[in-house]
Each structure stands twice: as C-alpha cells, then as structure tokens.
Amino acid sequence: MPQSWQEALLPGPVPGPKQPATYLALAAKDGSVASFVSTAAPRLEWTDPEGEVEVVQEFTDKPEAQILNSDYDGRYLAYSVTWSYEVFLSPWSIYVWDTTMGGEPLLIGNSPEGDYPDGTAGVAPLPDVAVHGGQVAWVEFDPTSEDPFSRSLVVYDVETDESTVIDRGPFSPVERVGGSVVLPAMTPASDVVTWTVVPMSDSEPVVLPTEFRDSSFAHILHVSDAGMAWADNRWSLWLWRADTSESMHLVDGVAPDGQLVTWLDAVTFSDELLAFRLGTDEDQFTYVLDLRSMSYTQLPQDGPRGEFTVYPSALEVRYDAADLNSGYPGPSALATTQELPPLPKCG
C-alpha cells in the first residue's frame, strides 16, 4: 500500500469495554455521513457536508438496538433497526428521515407478527431497504400465502404516506441500482434464479448486463448506484458499471498463490474504488481496486486481518479485534476518496 494511503488510513484508538463505539452506517456521495453510536443509550447521527452533526434518533430505552441497513437518495435517509442482539430472531422496524427538513424520523414498517407455516419466525427475512425519489422499498414475510418461501415487496411513498405491496414471490432482500429495485428469486426446489426489476418513482427500469443475465450461476456480491458486482460459477469476479453498457472481468478465479478461489466476499464499490476479499482452502487476500487507474493494493499478508468497505465518498478499513471472542470491534480507519490519490498504474 502506498505511503499516502497508509497515512490517510491510520487506525484510530480501539474503544474500551465501557466506551462508546461508532459505526459508519452510510457515507454518501455528497459527503454526508450516517453514524451509529453504540452506548447504553444508542443513537443514530447525521453529519451533513458542512460538518454539522444532528441526532436523528436516540434509542434510550432500547440498549440492544442496532442499525441493520440504510440507504439515501439525496434527501431521504431510510434505515432498518433490529431491537435485540439475537439479530436473526429480532423484531425490526423501518424508518425514513428527511435530511432537509429534519425533525423526527417517521416509522413506516414493523416486522410482521406470527410465524411461517413451517414455524420459522415471521421476522425473517431481515429487511434491507432501498430509497429513491422518496419511495422506500423492502421485502418482508407474506402473511397471505401458505408458501413458506413467499415474500412481499413493499413500497412506502413519502408523498402519499402509504405503503403498497407491489409484488409477491420467493424474493431475497432488495438491492437497488439507480432508480430500480433488483429482486433475485429462487426456491430450494429449483436452482434457477429469476430476476425482477421494479422501477421506483417513475424511473426508467435498469437493464441488467448481458453477462449477468446469461450466467448459469450468478451470485450477487454488491449492488449500488454505481452498478453491480457478482461472481460466476468459477468464483470469477465481474463488475458492471451503471454508467457504461459493458461488464469487466476482474478476477479469474485463481488467487495470487496459484490456488483456486473457493470464496469471495466483502465486495463493495463506488464510481472510483472497489474492495473485495477472496479466499482459498489455505489463505485469504484483501484488496482495493482503484477504478480511476485500474491498479490495486491490499492489506499485507503478514499484518492483521481485516476488510475494506467502500462508500460513495469514502474508504474504511476495519481490522479484526485482537481477541475475536471479545465482542468488541478492532481498530478502524476512514478516509475520504479525495484523501486517497489515484494508485500508480500497474506496469
């Protein structure tokens, strides 16, 4: 990693057992940041591009509250909250907050009550949220169906203050590309994935890349305003940028040590950077690809393990805690993309 990047990404102090820990929930392209402060009375904070900080919501009587997922459309911040440390069994709620007007966030959704026909808790699946043009979308349990794999796609409209079930099917959580929600659907009885594209707020529907639609196996790793990244059946990494009509083949399924890649994860990207982690049966490698110069850097193999996270305007590196069983985070660092000069082009 070049010296300029090392200096920009110097890890900060590790919070002690009784100190608040701050987690980045979102770093928007305009420089706004949403942060979750984990204390005995957790809170969600919003920092605008001028550096002004506002408390969006305080969870004074909910010490186990956590931000599950968030999205931002330039005005509205949508986010989902779980209320218990037993996340996969936790009730959840969804809120939307107007960053322009401020005030109290609006509660727009709660986990359905009751269980699935097979006894699975109705809180599943945990909801990722997508927001565009003042419309918030998420997938939840479908109480009208006897099919245990059926889900409802719900869209809430800020202007009308109404929620509508747009579609039903065996959907996975929502992903958003630009102004469209992309929904993968598959049941255990079939190994065929179908894709539903739902435009939001009168947007034109996004056209999925040919290489993705024609793949016999496509595992979505990350979707954002910038496009889509996925792995094929050989664990090769592909990237489609929404501002182009072409896909890029980035990793060919072979690790630097010559071993076959057996997994890919921690993929995030923006218009300028892409982070990913790949592994073999024997090792793992953590990278950032600079899309400005098509060069890459990585966490040193002889250093602490961790992962990069790319946001629309920033890069975060979070290292593993020295004691993985402590329940406390390891050191982390955050740098804006402007603080990271383009990596030198590979020779």
Mean pLDDT score, 232-253 = 84
Residue 148 confidence (pLDDT): 75
Residue 303: pLDDT band with limits 50, 70, 90 = low
Q: Are residues 43 and 167 in the same domain?
A: yes
Domain assignment of residue 136, yes or no: yes
Domain assignment of residue 182, yes or no: yes
Residue 192: pLDDT band with limits 50, 70, 90 = low
Mean pLDDT of the chain: 84
**Final residue belonging to a domain, choices 186, 206, 226:** 206
Residue 287: pLDDT band with limits 50, 70, 90 = very high
Q: Report which of residues 238 and 106 the model is more confident about.
A: 106
Residue 347 confidence (pLDDT): 59
Residue 197 has pLDDT above 90, yes or no: no
Residue 237 has pLDDT above 60, yes or no: yes
Domain assignment of residue 347, yes or no: no
- The domain in which residue 237 lies consists of 214-340
Q: Are residues 319 and 176 in the same domain?
A: no
Residue 135 confidence (pLDDT): 96
CB 105 within 8 A of CB 117: no
Q: Are residues 196 and 219 in the same domain?
A: no
Listed in sequence order, the residues at least 6 apart from 89 whose beta carbon sits closer than 8 Å to its beta carbon are 121, 123
Return d(Cα 11, Cα 114) in angstroms, integer: 44
* Among 129, 198, 128, 209, residue whose Cα is nearest residue 169: 198
Q: CATH number, domain at 273? A: 2.40.128
Q: CATH number, domain at 146? A: 2.130.10.120
Residue 216 confidence (pLDDT): 55
Residue 345 has pLDDT above 60, yes or no: yes
- Taking only the tens place, the pLDDT of each residue in 105-134 is 999 999 887 665 666 666 778 889 999 999
Residue 224 has pLDDT above 70, yes or no: yes
Q: Are residues 184 and 301 in the same domain?
A: no
**Final residue belonging to a domain, choices 161, 179, 206:** 206
Mean pLDDT score, 33-47 = 90
Tokens of 233: 């059946």
Residue 215: pLDDT band with limits 50, 70, 90 = low
Q: Are residues 226 and 273 in the same domain?
A: yes
Q: For the range 61-66, what are the long-range contacts, defined as Cβ-Cβ under 8 Å and sequence gap of 24 or more?
A: 66/36, 66/38, 66/42
Q: Which amino acid is located at 112 in the chain?
A: P
Q: Are residues 199 and 219 in the same domain?
A: no
Percent of the chain at pLDDT exceeding 90: 33
Q: Are residues 196 and 60 in the same domain?
A: yes
Residue 53 confidence (pLDDT): 94
Domain assignment of residue 10, yes or no: no
Residue 25: pLDDT band with limits 50, 70, 90 = confident
Residue 257 confidence (pLDDT): 80
Q: Are residues 265 and 281 in the same domain?
A: yes
**Final residue belonging to a domain, choices 178, 206, 234:** 206
Residue 146: pLDDT band with limits 50, 70, 90 = confident
Residue 81 confidence (pLDDT): 95
Q: Which amino acid is located at 339 in the chain?
A: E
Residue 33 confidence (pLDDT): 92
Percent of the chain at pLDDT exceeding 70: 88
Domain assignment of residue 5, yes or no: no
Residue 188 has pLDDT above 80, yes or no: no
Structurally, the chain folds into a number of domains equal to 2
Distance of CA 50 to the CA centre of its chain: 25
Mean pLDDT score, 199-223 = 77
Q: Are residues 247 and 323 in the same domain?
A: yes
CB 283 within 8 A of CB 290: no
- Taking only the tens place, the pLDDT of each residue in 52-104 is 999 999 998 899 999 999 999 999 999 999 998 888 888 999 999 999 999 99
Highest mean pLDDT of the ranges 55-59, 151-155, 336-340: 55-59
Residue 120 confidence (pLDDT): 62
Q: Are residues 30 and 84 in the same domain?
A: yes
Q: Are residues 108 and 137 in the same domain?
A: yes
Domain assignment of residue 8, yes or no: no
Q: Are residues 44 and 173 in the same domain?
A: yes
Domain assignment of residue 51, yes or no: yes
Domain assignment of residue 286, yes or no: yes
